[in-house]
A and B are shown apart, each in its own frame.
Chain A
């Protein structure tokens, strides 16, 4: 259940960003989270946490989009750069050497938001 703890930080940062804008956001309609597969986040738990934590804020009823980033490694033996599905761990599917360099899979960041601003002035 680290989803709740992570989502707490996500909502906090998202609201901070929304307030920083000029003119300040009236409403947040969408948040995009980039999330590497190695993080083992359960999207359903994260969605439930997001819904609970945004209640009563300007992001209430907004959409949380989770962009999953695959685990990609580069094999130092044969040079293959590609996705690893973890069924064989960090072993190169082409030449069976250990993949020592990870290119992606550990990401966890707030990537994008959609907001509405007061445009009366």
Chain B
């Protein structure tokens, strides 16, 4: 019997695809955002708002990640924006290779921004670099105030944090100050937006931030 020391990074293959994606996007001057949140936190509703408000000023496409069904892509296609559905068929997250191939099918020369709506999940999507410029963590006020502490990796890596469904606050016992404090225990610097896709409150500020994202090398 022999013991062998190795150092073999298990993310290597995924990270290679992610690097290729970054090069591809840089070549076209496109910013890509990776939107991550629980199922039902309002990711698709926010993208519908994005389509309604910005489709004339910003050239963007959405890659919809889901385990099953093209329902979300259909919802967004009604808004006349470019949308591709990525089905993971059981996998709880998107991986870089799938995203890379989906990007190659988009008319990249005509785009400024790609938003990837990741599979609804706070754990696994945070693990996989898909070549994005920024991860955006989304948490709705119908979840728990302590979620940022329970899912530290996502909130640590997020370049922006969204607290959604704020229109429901009067009906809930959700302590938004405690939630914000918990987010700050994980991530001190990233901008935090409190918003509601239903009332429209706070949405403009977030979209302004999103449209001003610039490629950084």
A contact set with B: CB distance below 8 Å: 1-2, 5-6, 9-10, 13, 17, 21, 29, 33, 38-40, 71, 86-91, 98, 100, 106, 108-117
Contact = CB atoms under 8 A, between A and B. Distances in A.
A98 B123 CA distance: 23
A100 B153 CA distance: 14
Contacts of B108: none
**Chain B binding surface, main DSSP class:** mixed
Given A89-B185, A98-B185, 17 more contacts: A2-B128, A9-B10, A13-B10, A17-B4, A21-B4, A40-B123, A40-B153, A86-B152, A88-B149, A108-B11, A112-B3, A113-B3, A113-B6, A114-B2, A114-B4, A115-B4, A116-B2
Interface centre among A1, A2, A17 (most CB of B within 10 A): A2
Contacts of A100: 188
28 contacts: A1-B92, A2-B91, A2-B93, A2-B124, A2-B127, A5-B91, A9-B13, A10-B10, A17-B4, A21-B4, A38-B153, A39-B153, A71-B152, A86-B149, A86-B152, A87-B149, A90-B152, A90-B185, A98-B188, A108-B11, A109-B9, A110-B7, A111-B5, A112-B3, A112-B5, A113-B3, A114-B2, A114-B4
Contacts of A98: 184-185, 188
A61 to B, nearest CB: 15
A98 B134 CA distance: 21
B120 interface: no
Is the interface on chain B under 10, 10 to 19, 20 to 34, or 35 or more residues? 20 to 34
A110 B4 contact: no
A110 B91 CA distance: 22
B66 interface: no
B152 A89 contact: yes
Contacts of B187: 90
Given A38-B153, A86-B152, A98-B188, A115 B123 contact: no
A117 B2 contact: yes
B93 A108 contact: no
B148 interface: yes
Interface of B: 1-11, 13, 91-93, 95, 123-124, 127-128, 148-149, 151-153, 156, 182, 184-188
A91 B185 CA distance: 6
Interface centre among B11, B91, B128, B185 (most CB of A within 10 A): B185
B8 A17 contact: yes
A2 to B, nearest CB: 4
Contact of A111 (B7, B123, B186): B7
